[in-house]
Amino acid sequence: MLGRIAEAGAAGWSLVLISPFIGSFLGVLIRRLPDGSPVARGRSRCDACGVTLRARDLVPVLSWLAAGGRCRYCNQPLGWFYPGVELAALAVALTAVLIDGGQTAWLDCLLGWWLLALGWIDLRSWLLPDVLTLPLIIVGLAVTVALDPDRLTQHAAGAALGYLGLAAIAALYRTARGREGLGGGDAKLLAASGAWLGTAALPPVILLAALSALAAAGCLRLAGIRLGRYSALPFGPFLAFSTWAFWLSGTAG
């Protein structure tokens, strides 16, 4: 594995090295975006005691380990959230570099980190903010123009079909069950999938997302957490995972 990373060269290495810092930023985004708090100022205070954190308190993962998972000032447990997001961002970079080397790994990371933030926000807050889903559609189309302009029509159609397809499923579900099963954010996220992957990828993306959601529900059940008829899992994290998996299989192939 380290051999593959060495082959990836400076571009691959720098992605892996910056990824925990990107993860710190994503952590701030995941926490603040749903509340509408300013994201730009970064994580500057301890959530428990409000003390201003210094540079040495903000080194991804390492500060957390050095302080034993507690705030150095008030000794409150810091929780797994920030190191968790930082490690997830690192895992995205390692996966991208192992699969694609230094060539298109930065693009894999851009999409992977973006989807990581979206999926995590949906998991915590049950929403997929437009400020993240809509630009992801535009960037997907821009990437298509840059890499393979002949496919632009197909990817633009993918974005439109992704949105309309999931909006139609949501409307059917609402009529049949009399309650919301999918949010509007899911349709915009599937539009982004279509923009990045094209029309042909939409059915397998939905299928893999649905299967992984079922698998997750099964795991929760095994763990003793039963999802009742009216409880549900957010679909965004599974759509995000599935989209990234198909993007990676496309670039690797």
For the bound state, the minimum distance from the C-beta of residue 157 to Zn ion, rounded and expressed in Å, comes to: 51
| Residue 45: strand pairing partners | 52
Query: Number of residues in contact with Zn ion, rule: CB under 5 A?
Result: 6
Q: How far apart are the first and last CA of the chain?
A: 20
CA nearest to 6, candidates 94, 65, 121, 134: 94
CA nearest to 101, candidates 2, 8, 10: 8
For the bound state, the minimum distance from the C-beta of residue 41 to Zn ion, rounded and expressed in Å, comes to: 17
For the bound state, the minimum distance from the C-beta of residue 65 to Zn ion, rounded and expressed in Å, comes to: 17
Q: Is 160 in the site for Zn ion (CB under 5 A)?
A: no
Question: Of the two residues 21 and 73, which places its CB atom closer to Zn ion in the complex?
Answer: 73
Within 64-93, the residues that bind Zn ion by CB under 5 A are 71, 73-74
**Residue 168: both structure tokens together:** 């139609």
Helix (H, G, I), strand (E, B) or coil at 50: coil
Element (H, E) at 219: helix 202-222
For the bound state, the minimum distance from the C-beta of residue 55 to Zn ion, rounded and expressed in Å, comes to: 16
Question: Of the two residues 57 and 122, which places its CB atom closer to Zn ion in the complex?
Answer: 57
Q: Is 53 in the site for Zn ion (CB under 5 A)?
A: no
In total, the chain counts a number of residues equal to 253
* Sites of contact with Zn ion (CB under 5 A): 46, 48-49, 71, 73-74
